[in-house]
Structure 1
Amino acid sequence: GDWWTQTKLWYRQQYKKADPVLPAVPASLGLAATAASLAGNLTGAGMVMIPFAFVWIGWSAIFWLPVFGVLAVFSAGLLESCCEMLEERHEEYRRFHWYTQYSDVANRAVGPGLSKVVGALRLFCVVGLWAVLIVIVSATMVDFVALILPVPVPRGHLYCGFIVGCGVLFVLSSGTTATYCRYWCGVVNTPVAVVLTILLLTGIAGNNKMATGTGEAMFTIKLFDLGSLIGDVSGLSKGVKDVTSALYFVSLGILAFNFAGVCEFTNIRRDMKAPPSFPKAAAFGVAGSTLALFIVGVTAYAVLYPFNGNVVLIFNTRNVRIAAHFFTLTCMGQVSNLSDLTLGEYDHVEDYGKRVAWRRARISAPLALCAGAIALALPYEGPLMGLVGSLALCPVAFLLPPVFYYKLCQGSEQWPEKPLSTRMKICLALAILCSLLVFIGGTVASIIQLVNEYGADEQSCFRGFCYDQKFALTPASLSLLDIFTSGGNVDPNWGKCSTKY
């Protein structure tokens, strides 16, 4: 059909009723369109998330970005191979729908007991993803409202209100209104993202003067004494304080968050006509995403490296900042799709390919409630993103697929043995080691940073509405250069809940 028919088929693919006995008929726009969509969405997510990592790991991200890209492609290929093995060895597996691929593979690789643990971990992924998205979207909306309103607004109350509203929105978008809301959001997402990308890049090129600094950025600089580490923030050089090493591992968790969220590792596309084309499709899509990540991250680090926090809040030009907010909200769909794919596994067999509104709402409501509670208590984008990425997404996306593949190849009473080559064993070991590095280091470092910020900060809806520090600009007489040159000595009353500034 024409391009509009193909577009509707593409975005409605996950809603159509399909025969669970046979793989679903593909309705894809092709590799180029898939890669363009991934790149566009990831550019939006990366514009907000990646600078957290780049500020803390410096130019070593040039090494880590390709590593995560290779891990994403490798893990996706392993999952696809696991599906092929199960189809060959277990005839009934062909009756399973592609919605439940990951849980099916886990059940047959590690057994029903551990597969329940994996399922709980994936639900935790949903909660963590929603919590991070709620925090980022709420901060974006508060700043957007403050920009367009002619009068000052109580930002603390506004922020907490947006958090509650976003929690309700996540319940609706995954439940009662999913069929219509997510479909039309998907249709308009890519073209709007492309237009806003052009506007935003043009605005950045002419936006030579940045804002005087946001409260969150200044707080982190003061807390970790980053002002004395300017020019040496990679976390690898000698003489750097230990706290920078913690930030380094947090940044690895943020990278895992980006790649796992955007690559949508649960959708390993058994519905394609030619299964051998899957590795090519996965490699092409992840390559486009990696390139977008690299461009956004390098640009953000090169221009904004002294800052920490939401890059959107750094922009000084009003129009560029408003466009960046729209861009951020538009491009969050790719990350939220991961949670929808995970929740799709809890549909009944007879309901595969369609949405059962209230059943899905009953599942998503408690998850959204937990995510909202986390966002209210811990509104710290960087460490929260690092914790979710390293503790939840990294094991599911990068650590477990090699384990599943190895277990299925070991042979048992049920499956014939499939010996592994030495090269494959080395690749599996390297993938597991890299994943363990991010999982252990990122989790511990993120928890440490969350505890430090929670203990020293007053930003929590459970402890009051002191969000002026998060959003307020520095005094007009004080610049970031002054803070850096003075070793971080600023007025101790700055940023506190008072009317002084």
Structure 2
Amino acid sequence: MEIPETAGLLQNEKGHVPPGHAAHGLTVLTTAVFAVGEMAGSGVLALPKALVTTGWTGVAINIVCAAASAYTGMILGKCWLMVQNRYVEYQTNTRYPYPAIGFVTYGKAGRMLVSASINLTLFGVAVVFLLLASQNLQHLVSDAGHDFSFCYWLLIVAAALLPTTWLGTPKDFWPIAVGATVATSIACVIIVANVAVDSVDLPPAFKPELDAKNFFMAFGTICFAFGGHPGFPTFQADMKQPEKFGKAIFLAYSILLLMYLPVAISGYIAYGVNASDNILENLSSGPMHYLVDVLITLHLFFGFVIVLNPVCQEVEEIVGIPPHFTFKRILSRTAIMLLVLFIAESIPHFGAILSLIGGSTTTLLAYILPPIFYLKLCSMKGDWEEETPSLMTKVLLAEIMLVGTVAGVASTYAAVDALATSSFSTPCYISTRHAGD
């Protein structure tokens, strides 16, 4: 696979910070950690179930999706560097760079498409994170002998998370990303150990025959697990040396595969058709399960802040709230949190939602738009050094777009059909019973 060469787009000038560079920003390592913190969490919990419905081909799909996502992530990073190099107005104080790429290439329509897709994706992920964190806490407290309504846990968790959403941009809360990545890494090791212990007493797991609908739903789940593109340009914009973004992405996806594959394969082998949408529900009770619940909950807390931040930044950009901390930021982000809470209380169940997000907006942002924007930027004429992609690059990008489009449409259809035929829990504000009972 050809790795985009981003170095050289922004040239150092003696005595000056190059365009787009931050004197105090994210390093390659901290950027990779942010990317892992954004993607890992709910995705890794759903992968064993995805492998059940794809069979052993699911392992290959995971690897191919990771490679394609990493490549298009690098392409997206290259697009941002090209935009910064060509247009002075994007060299400083750009709080939402992905829509800016869409605007430079395709005007208002491009910006609106990117903004809508990113906000739907990240908002949906924030809802899922809130649901899962509340569910984990409910299970932990319930196992300790105290039964407390899931719907009330949603309120408690939202209230606890609210102050963290007031933080500015990724460079202001990099310890949160480190905490998210470390927590999930340790949790993955313990999950595999717990599955190994469970498998000793389990009968041979039944592996179902492949089904087209379930196969494409699983594809959407896998895409979701590797689709961090909505936040990538935001992380890159906060880097000390944004031209090294490609290295950060390569490192991030290498870490993800090391975390994802052992969990997915072990869960598939041990539980087979009985694998749940959330692998934690399959683990036997005990100290390891409790520790995993705590670690994953910590990740979901940290990850929530990471995924909701770009949405908050764009809202503030639209309504004219300044980038420094003000009371207006508190009001706007509190309003966004209340909306997330309302959706979670309305649909306290995430089932096929991951597949829907993964097959639709995530596929669009990860596999379709980055190649389109890159090729468009390369074809644009102006007072700048022109970029000419090789034939191999064009062919590879075309293949990624074609496969992404076909698989994305199929998985979206499958997820919508599953949502239409499934029964949802009663909204929390209508029923006082536990969501999901």
TM-score (norm 1): 0.71
Aligned pairs for 1:16-95 (under 5 A) are 23-25=21-23, 27-28=25-26, 31=29, 44-95=41-92
Q: CA 1:177–1:329 in 2, change beyond 3 Å: closer, same or farther?
A: farther
SS, match of residue 267 in structure 1: helix
CA-CA distance at 1:129 after TM superposition: 1.0
Q: CA 1:207–1:38 in 2, change beyond 3 Å: closer, same or farther?
A: farther
Q: Which residue of 2 aligns with 1:440?
A: 409
Is 1:254 matched with 2:218? no
Amino acid at match of 2:422: E
| Alpha-carbon contact 1:89-1:415 (below 8 Å) kept | yes
RMSD (Å), alpha carbons: 3.7
Q: Which residue of 1 aligns with 2:6?
A: none
CA-CA distance at 1:108 after TM superposition: 0.4
Amino acid at match of 2:111: S
In 1: Cα distance, 2:183 partner to 2:72 partner: 31
Alignment counterpart, residue 449 of structure 1, candidates 392, 407, 418: 418
Alignment counterpart, residue 207 of structure 2, candidates 218, 231, 239: 231
Report which stretch shifted further, 315-324 or 165-174: 165-174
Q: CA 1:40–1:125 in 2, change beyond 3 Å: closer, same or farther?
A: closer
CA-CA distance at 1:276 after TM superposition: 4.8
Alignment counterpart, residue 288 of structure 2, candidates 320, 323, 329: 320
Q: Which residue of 2 aligns with 1:125?
A: 121
Superimposed CA distance per residue, residues 143-182 of structure 1 (whole angstroms, 9 cap, x where no aligned partner): 1121011x6x3x6xx1111223344445433127999995
Report which stretch shifted further, 203-212 or 315-324: 203-212
Q: CA 1:209–1:369 in 2, change beyond 3 Å: closer, same or farther?
A: farther
Q: CA 1:317–1:383 in 2, change beyond 3 Å: closer, same or farther?
A: same
Amino acid at match of 2:108: P
Amino acid at match of 2:411: G
User: Percent identical across equivalent pairs?
Assistant: 19
| Alpha-carbon contact 1:41-1:193 (below 8 Å) kept | no
CA-CA distance at 1:202 after TM superposition: 4.0
Amino acid at match of 2:22: A
CA-CA distance at 1:383 after TM superposition: 0.1
Superimposed CA distance per residue, residues 394-420 of structure 1 (whole angstroms, 9 cap, x where no aligned partner): 222332111211222222578786544
Q: CA 1:132–1:326 in 2, change beyond 3 Å: closer, same or farther?
A: same
In 2: Cα distance, 1:73 partner to 1:438 partner: 18
Is 1:175 matched with 2:171? no
Aligned pairs for 1:40-439 (under 5 A) are 44-97=41-94, 99-149=95-145, 153=147, 158-175=149-166, 185-186=176-177, 188-193=179-184, 196-197=187-188, 199-208=190-199, 230-233=206-209, 235=210, 244-261=211-228, 264-267=231-234, 269-270=236-237, 272=239, 274=241, 276-307=243-274, 308-332=276-300, 333-334=302-303, 336-347=305-316, 351-352=322-323, 354=324, 356=325, 358-411=327-380, 418-439=387-408
| Alpha-carbon contact 1:134-1:167 (below 8 Å) kept | yes
In 2: Cα distance, 1:178 partner to 1:86 partner: 20
| Alpha-carbon contact 1:71-1:398 (below 8 Å) kept | yes
Structure 1: any 5+ residue segments left out of the alignment? Answer: 1-18, 213-228, 236-243, 472-501
CA-CA distance at 1:288 after TM superposition: 1.8
Q: CA 1:311–1:385 in 2, change beyond 3 Å: closer, same or farther?
A: same
Superimposed CA distance per residue, residues 93-117 of structure 1 (whole angstroms, 9 cap, x where no aligned partner): 32344x3321221110110243123
In 2: Cα distance, 1:440 partner to 1:423 partner: 26
In 1: Cα distance, 2:96 partner to 2:289 partner: 41
CA-CA distance at 1:361 after TM superposition: 3.8
In 1: Cα distance, 2:100 partner to 2:35 partner: 26
Superimposed CA distance per residue, residues 417-451 of structure 1 (whole angstroms, 9 cap, x where no aligned partner): 65443322212211212321343122221111112
Superimposed CA distance per residue, residues 260-292 of structure 1 (whole angstroms, 9 cap, x where no aligned partner): 249942335255555553322321221221232
Q: Which residue of 1 aligns with 2:9?
A: none
Report which stretch shifted further, 161-170 or 33-42: 33-42
SS, match of residue 231 in structure 1: coil
SS, match of residue 348 in structure 2: coil
Superimposed CA distance per residue, residues 231-263 of structure 1 (whole angstroms, 9 cap, x where no aligned partner): 334x3xxxxxxxx32222221221122212499
| Alpha-carbon contact 2:280-2:289 (below 8 Å) kept | yes
| Alpha-carbon contact 1:204-1:320 (below 8 Å) kept | no
SS, match of residue 382 in structure 1: coil
| Alpha-carbon contact 1:134-1:375 (below 8 Å) kept | yes
Q: CA 1:54–1:179 in 2, change beyond 3 Å: closer, same or farther?
A: closer
Structure 2: any 5+ residue segments left out of the alignment? Answer: 1-16
In 2: Cα distance, 1:164 partner to 1:210 partner: 39
Superimposed CA distance per residue, residues 194-236 of structure 1 (whole angstroms, 9 cap, x where no aligned partner): 5555555444433447899xxxxxxxxxxxxxxxx94334x3x
Q: CA 1:247–1:370 in 2, change beyond 3 Å: closer, same or farther?
A: farther
In 2: Cα distance, 1:361 partner to 1:58 partner: 47
SS, match of residue 52 in structure 1: helix
Q: CA 1:294–1:188 in 2, change beyond 3 Å: closer, same or farther?
A: closer
Q: Which residue of 2 aligns with 1:484?
A: none
CA-CA distance at 1:310 after TM superposition: 1.7
Alignment: residue pair count: 416
Q: Which residue of 2 aligns with 1:9?
A: none
Amino acid at match of 1:249: F
